[in-house]
Amino acid sequence: MKNFLLAPSILAADFARLGEETTKVLAAGGNIIHFDVMDNHYVPNLSMGPMLLKSLRAYGITAPIDVHLMIQPVDALIPEFAKAGASFISFHPEASNNISRTLKVIKEHGCKAGLAFNPCTSLHYLDYTINSIDLILIMSVNPGFCGQPFIPNTIDKLFQVRCLIDNKGYNIRLGVDGGININNINQVATAGADMFVVGSAIFNHRNYEEVINKMRLELKKTNNAFH
């Protein structure tokens, strides 16, 4: 049985009630909280910073938190997010001046490290880094906003990365981020994803548990297809 993780993206939640929304989505079956950080420079939007992450921890959120950095420069804020309570920190390789240094900073601060790939970013960034990462996040939209449509050629990219991971038996999570919903989660899981970032498909629904259960049912079909 594949161990699939659902990662609700609180970028799509009601910011005025973030603690409550986060608690609610975890109680509804979310496994790991996806925390999108945007700087209005690397991406054309502004979102959340380390103080907000610290407040969520202080509020009582103990689940793992995956901080997705869409910022440039990258390194300076990593210690702040680690101190605030990040579990994973992911960044976009083309936003870093020196990828191995950025990975080292993440590890030195006790977090797991991820690399995020935009739809047109080449996978060659994995050539010399795959030994040092815990998560590969394949973007299925161009980062910046919730609620964008899924880009279909992500499927091929996921499959390529799944082969890379499995050929050498790496212990790396393969996440997919952007436009995931009940209708396509099975397809991305079949292509190899095992962590699903979901923003608007959960938070725009009045009953989080209902949509998460439907996603789990779809994932169960994928599991059956594997056996």
Please identify which residue in 75, 129, 147, 209 interacts with ligand DX5, judged by CB under 6 A. Answer: 147
Restricting to residues 173-202, name those near Zn ion by CB under 5 A: 177
Taking CB positions, which residue lies at the least distance from ligand DX5?
199
Under rule CB under 6 A, residue 50 binds ligand DX5: no
Under rule CB under 6 A, residue 193 binds ligand DX5: no
Binding-site string for Zn ion from residue 31 to residue 70, where x marks contact by CB under 5 A and - marks none:
-----x-------------------------------x--
Q: Annotated active-site positions, please?
A: 36, 177
Stretch that binds ligand DX5, among 13-21, 105-113, 164-172, 176-184 (CB under 6 A): 176-184
Asked whether the beta carbons of 51 and 80 are under 8 A apart, the reply is no
In sequence order, what DSSP letters do the residues of the chain get, joined into one string? ----EEEEBGGGS-GGGHHHHHHHHHHTT--SEEEEEEBSSSSS-B---HHHHHHHHHHT--S-EEEEEE-SS-GGGHHHHHHHT-SEEEE-GGG-S-HHHHHHHHHHTT-EEEEEE-TT--GGGGTTTGGG-SEEEEESS-TT-SSPPP-TTHHHHHHHHHHHHHHHT---EEEEESS--TTTHHHHHHTT--EEEESHHHHTSS-HHHHHHHHHHHHHHHHHHH-
Stretch that binds ligand DX5, among 49-57, 165-173, 195-203, 219-227 (CB under 6 A): 195-203
Please identify, using beta-carbon distances, which residue of 1 and 16 lies nearer to ligand DX5.
Answer: 16
Restricting to residues 54-93, name those near ligand DX5 by CB under 6 A: 68
Which residues in this chain contact Zn ion in the complex, by CB under 5 A?
A: 36, 68, 177
Which residues in this chain contact ligand DX5 in the complex, by CB under 6 A?
A: 9, 11-12, 34, 36, 68, 141, 143-148, 177-180, 197-201
